[in-house]
Structure 1
Amino acid sequence: MTMYAPAQSADGRPLVELREVSRSYGQGGPPALAGVDLRVAAGECLAVLGPSGSGKSTLLHLIAGLDRPTGGSVTVDGLRVDRLGEAASARYRRSRIGLVFQFFQLLDDLTVVDNVLLPAQLAGLPRAEARRRAAELLERLGIARYAGTHPGRLSGGERQRVAVARALMNRPALLLADEPTGALDSAAGDGVRELLAGLNADGQTIVLVTHDLRLAAACATRTVELVDGRVVRDAGVAA
């Protein structure tokens, strides 16, 4: 087993399962999601594509437990995420998923290594074990030399690598990425595409939402397209 991938269940269940999921915001307009059925197997890298307003970010937020569906069910790693209270949702995000955002969301007053250590500290991982894990991740992601540096002194691509290391700290079953190349220039974007493809090749399950067709082509094993809150296409990249 690689340093990235968590243990995967062998019972054949999908790692992520959405059944008839809808999300409305009560403003009289069309729903953000309308009856979405979606399954993601362990080891897949799923890219969710679609125009702005199609429901991509809503879908990601529901899987992350940051929002709740109006109807339907969301199950991740055997857990009914849509039924969790606030405290249980926070525990779920600490233990089962990693989140990567477009604008990194690093704490500029902490060093790189301290940013990466945060999830382990919140989860109560022993300090020595957490520091070993952080050092492994920083080395493997090519940013070990920046361990004592503050994020504001790094390039966009380097900061996104720090964000990925932080997301992987607790060996999540699922990595969620929201437009991970959206704030990067072409060269930095290429580096993050290669990084995510490598993580998936090592066994990490990934769901990402993106406008970046190059990202989908580089690392997705399957793509889903949303339009007006509905799945209009579900195919492997080669299809």
Structure 2
Amino acid sequence: MTAPIIQIRDVSKTYDVGLPALAGLSLEVRAGEALAVLGPSGSGKSTLLNLVAGLDRPSEGGVTVDGVRLDGMTEAGLARYRRERVGMVFQFFNLLDDLTVEDNVLLPAQLAGLPRTQAWERARELLERLGIDRHARAHPGRLSGGERQRVAVARALMNRPPLLLADEPTGALDSASAADVRDLLAGLSRDGQSIVLVTHDTALARSCATRTIELVDGVIARDSEVPGAVPAGATGTVTGIGEARAAVR
């Protein structure tokens, strides 16, 4: 059995008003697993992702990711955790338009203090393997939505994080670009990259995830393996590339 990369124990999250966003939720995600989090708006999906990312803290319970207990960490510790252990992909890309594609991808390495030569080699490897090396000197505004999301994925993988988090990664894309991103994430999943993605895109969940959970009112209403998916840890490594190159060509 593959060891869990995420352990969530009896977590509740309550904001100032209304019902709790999460209500006593417990969840384990194994290393190499690709988990799709489904559910209606307001069900707690984004709250769960933010807790795993260290962007929010639980009102009760504990969150441990890759052996690191998050809920008691300082803000500086959480920032270091995000630099070293988590890559994040957002619905609206969050790229810096005044930087080139290459410089956007390099940014996490610069923040982490990676030597420049090593960082450039890693960035060029990612751009080539994700099929966007020809756009290295372009600015994001000149790229299609699907290409910009590939840049965002390359940036997220720059520091070789054990865990990739994706928040509605196809939500702002047209159908063709969404299909490209689904293929990309499916390739990463097949390569053994640990992934947690929040999505309303059932096609993305079917093609990328090895497991799905459905949240309703802050609790897990359904937890199921995806039929035909490769079990977590059964193949590949967690470096985050592998078959993704073929997926985006």
Counterpart of 2:246? none
Structure 2 residue 201 is the aligned partner of structure 1 residue 217? no
Structure 2 residue 29 is the aligned partner of structure 1 residue 44? no
Structure 2 residue 92 is the aligned partner of structure 1 residue 93? no
Aligned residues: 228
Counterpart of 1:24? 14
Residue correspondence of structure 1 range 150-229 to structure 2 within 5 A: 150-229=139-218
TM-score normalised by structure 1 residue count: 0.94
Q: What is the CA–CA distance in structure 2 between the aligned matches of 1:168 and 1:99, rounded to whole Å?
A: 8
Structure 2 residue 122 is the aligned partner of structure 1 residue 133? yes
User: Post-superposition shift, 1:199?
Assistant: 0.6
User: Post-superposition shift, 1:238?
Assistant: 2.2
Identity among equivalent pairs (%): 71
Q: What is the CA–CA distance in structure 2 between the aligned matches of 1:97 and 1:82, rounded to whole Å?
A: 16
Counterpart of 2:53? 64
- CA deviation digits over 1:23-82, x for unaligned, max 9? 00021x110000111000000000000000000000000000000000000000000011
User: Post-superposition shift, 1:84?
Assistant: 1.2
Q: What is the CA–CA distance in structure 2 between the aligned matches of 1:139 and 1:13, rounded to whole Å?
A: 32
- CA deviation digits over 1:172-203, x for unaligned, max 9? 00000000000001110000000001011111
Q: What is the CA–CA distance in structure 2 between the aligned matches of 1:87 and 1:69, rounded to whole Å?
A: 17
Query: Equivalent residue of 1:34, what SS?
Result: strand
Q: What is the CA–CA distance in structure 1 between the aligned matches of 2:206 and 2:33, rounded to whole Å?
A: 14
Q: Which amino acid aligns with 2:172?
A: A
**Structure 2: any 5+ residue segments left out of the alignment?**
229-249
**Structure 1: any 5+ residue segments left out of the alignment?**
1-10
Counterpart of 2:223? 234
User: Post-superposition shift, 1:13?
Assistant: 3.0
TM-score normalised by structure 2 residue count: 0.90
Q: Which amino acid aligns with 1:70?
A: S
- CA deviation digits over 1:64-103, x for unaligned, max 9? 0000000000000000011111111100000000000000
Query: Of 149, 158, 162, which aligns to 2:138?
Result: 149
Q: What is the CA–CA distance in structure 1 between the aligned matches of 2:190 and 2:2, rounded to whole Å?
A: 20
Q: What is the CA–CA distance in structure 2 between the aligned matches of 1:212 and 1:13, rounded to whole Å?
A: 28
Q: What is the CA–CA distance in structure 1 between the aligned matches of 2:126 and 2:36, rounded to whole Å?
A: 24
Counterpart of 1:83? 72
Counterpart of 1:5? none
Q: Which amino acid aligns with 2:119?
A: A
Q: For the aligned residues, what is the CA RMSD? A: 1.0
